[in-house]
Amino acid sequence: MQILVTGCAGFIGYHLSQRLLAEGHTVVGMDDFSSGQKINSDALRQQPRFRFVQHNVAEPLTITDHFDQIYNMACPASPADFDRRRLHILATCSRGPWNLAELALRCDARLFHASTSEVYGDPLVNPQIESYWGNVSCNGPRSCYDEGKRFAEALLAAYRREYGLKTRIARIFNTYGPRMRADDGRALPNFINQALTGQPLTVHGQGQQTRSFCYVDDLVDGIIRLTNSAVDEPVNLGNPVEITVLEIAEEIIRLCNSSSTVIHVPRPQDDPNIRRPDITRAQTLLGWDPTVERSVGLARVVEWFREHPPR
């Protein structure tokens, strides 16, 4: 197939593109480097069936190729980006999928869209199931991302109902792996780089908030299964093993054989208290289950950051 991947220089977009190339497809990768990294697009450019287009997906698309599938992975997604690039994120989440929906209609392509566990906001149920409508602030500091992604789901539902567009939507939970941006402000890159350099690990608040971390190869497998399936309702993709932020900080200190300690720093506003996916839908409809143990996955990321320390 001929496939478009937007956000190909981002962490997940990169791994997805590599996997699609390995399966024998031709991939056009698009990125504007607002949060993607050149090291990723440069690595993809080594591949014969890959072509790179530098473009902001929120701007009108001038690309004239035919695509069988489109994967929309483009959007800054770290909470630190929500402060740095809020208007850019709103444009990326609204005009981006709108442009891609038109392109997909023209090509009669399937459109995969990367939605997020943030559509559940600070959830009042645990684990979060797709039928849960969420607990989201429509104007708080995370609203550019949360409401942007909710708008995108509404937009694609409208395109599906109005024009029969073949949409595939995954709600992606916390994901980790090699090539995460070292400076993106997220817990895992921060903690690992702090542990590797002997600095204190900056745990927000008491660290009793929870997250559930999925290794990127598992996630990419779920994304591809979903896109090739007939499932057009949103599907949670994530690893249901839940852990507190303090526990994962301590786990990383041990894994790095580090002498670092933990310090408690103020917690950002609206930081969700709990997060864990109910993946029954993915299990039953896609036959998907994450397989990579956290200790194995984390060891690979530690290795990556040892070899690629932040500059």
Asked if 137 interacts with ligand UDP (CB under 6 A), we say no
Asked if 9 interacts with ligand UDP (CB under 6 A), we say no
Catalytic-role residue among 71, 120, 145, 215: 145
Asked if 121 interacts with ligand UDP (CB under 6 A), we say no
Asked if 203 interacts with ligand UDP (CB under 6 A), we say yes
Asked if 279 interacts with ligand UDP (CB under 6 A), we say no
CB atoms within 10 A of CB 46: 7
Residue positions counted in the chain:
311
- Which one among 171, 186, 281, 294 touches ligand UDP, defined by CB under 6 A? 186
Q: Which stretch binds ligand UDP (CB under 6 A): 26-34, 203-211, 233-241, 277-285?
A: 203-211
Asked if 34 interacts with ligand UDP (CB under 6 A), we say no
- The verdict on whether 145 is a catalytic residue reads yes
- DSSP label at residue 200: P
Q: Which stretch binds ligand UDP (CB under 6 A): 95-103, 219-227, 263-271, 303-311?
A: 263-271
> Which is nearer to ligand UDP, 275 or 281 (by Cβ)?
275
Contact 20/47 with Cβ under 8 angstroms? no
* Site string (79-108) toward ligand UDP, x via CB under 6 A: x-----------------------------
Asked if 268 interacts with ligand UDP (CB under 6 A), we say yes
Contact 229/69 with Cβ under 8 angstroms? no
- DSSP label at residue 119: G
Task: Please report, as residue ranges, which positions from 206 to 225 form the binding site for ligand UDP (by CB under 6 A).
Answer: 209, 211
**CA 123/CA 129 separation, integer angstroms:** 10
Contact 289/279 with Cβ under 8 angstroms? yes
Contact 260/199 with Cβ under 8 angstroms? yes
Asked if 174 interacts with ligand UDP (CB under 6 A), we say yes
Is the bond leading into 79 cis (omega within 30 degrees of zero)? no
- Give 223's contacts (C-beta < 8 A, 6+ positions apart): 16, 71, 112, 114, 170, 237
Asked if 251 interacts with ligand UDP (CB under 6 A), we say no
Q: Which stretch binds ligand UDP (CB under 6 A): 65-73, 161-169, 185-193, 278-286?
A: 185-193
Pick from 83, 171, 65: nearest CA to 127? 171
Q: Is 2 helix (H, G, I), strand (E, B) or coil?
A: strand
> Which is nearer to ligand UDP, 36 or 238 (by Cβ)?
238
- Which one among 109, 187, 192, 235 touches ligand UDP, defined by CB under 6 A? 187
Q: Is 38 helix (H, G, I), strand (E, B) or coil?
A: helix
Pick from 106, 13, 113: nearest CA to 28? 13
By CB under 6 A, name the binding residues for ligand UDP: 78-79, 174, 186-187, 190, 202-204, 209, 211, 245, 267-268, 271
